Amino acid sequence: MALQADTPALVLASASTARRAVLDAAGLRFTAMAAAVDEDAIKESARAEGLSPTDAALLLAEAKARRVQGRVPGTLVIGADQILVLGDRWFDKPPDMAAARSHLQTLRGETHILVTALVAWRDGARIWQHVATPRLTMRRFSDHFLDAYLAAEGEAVLSSVGAYRLEALGPHLFDRIEGEHSAILGLPLMALLGFLRDHDVLAG
């Protein structure tokens, strides 16, 4: 018996290399497609309406899944999004290395939450959603270490909302990490596998 059914075809509505790597490591067959949605506008609207980071992350994940399935009908599309929250502040991906340095200086010595949302979209409707909230505590590293870290990682940190990559040198920044590793990377794998088994996409 095959581990994964031939239909429906599985699509990941994301350009994230980290999310693709999570699904690849789990042996899933899927296609990755970037979703062209205005993330900044959605976040701004969510804030204006007083929505929580959880609701905002779900809105973003759903917008991505819905947009992609319009291009590939008949598939099962997984949309994902992640918002880094420190207190009442939401963080976006840093646009440049100076912003990345500022991000890490703000997060240094603090505990932040990665609100990580998944939404499954099929046949024009949302059929499942899940939110994970890993907690990460950064150590009080020196400015000298920070500069060395950024020099070693380079612009790769700009792909991450927190300006760190746990799949690379990011662990050096932390004292404590609580939560599923794949959720921190942007795709809570255990919950997704359970959903796929429940819907007969994966063998039970």
Q: What is the pTM of this model?
A: 0.93
What pLDDT score does 92 carry?
A: 87
What pLDDT score does 15 carry?
A: 86
What phi, psi does 40 have (nearest 5°)? -60, -40
**pLDDT tens-digit readout, 112-149:** 999 999 999 999 999 999 999 999 999 999 999 999 99
With helix as H, strand as E and coil as C, how does 84-104 read? Answer: EEECCEEECCCCCHHHHHHHH
Distance, in Å, from the CA atom of 185 to the CA atom of 69, rounded to the nearest integer, reads 23
Instruction: Give catalytic status of residue 81 as yes or no.
Output: yes
What pLDDT score does 166 carry?
A: 92
What pLDDT score does 2 carry?
A: 76
User: Is the separation of the CB atoms in 54 and 132 below 8 Å?
Assistant: no
CATH 3.90.950.10 is the classification of domain 10-198: yes
Domain residue ranges of the chain, discontinuous segments joined by +: 10-198
| pLDDT at residue 1 is higher than 70 | no
189 compared with 37, residue with greater pLDDT: 189
162: nearest Cα among 197, 123, 111, 126: 111
**pLDDT tens-digit readout, 74-109:** 999 999 999 999 999 999 899 999 999 999 999 999
Instruction: Indicate which residue of 24, 38, 81, 88 is catalytic.
Output: 81
What pLDDT score does 39 carry?
A: 87
Distance, in Å, from the CA atom of 70 to the CA atom of 177, rounded to the nearest integer, reads 37
Report CA Rg, the chain.
17
What pLDDT score does 162 carry?
A: 93
What pLDDT score does 204 carry?
A: 86
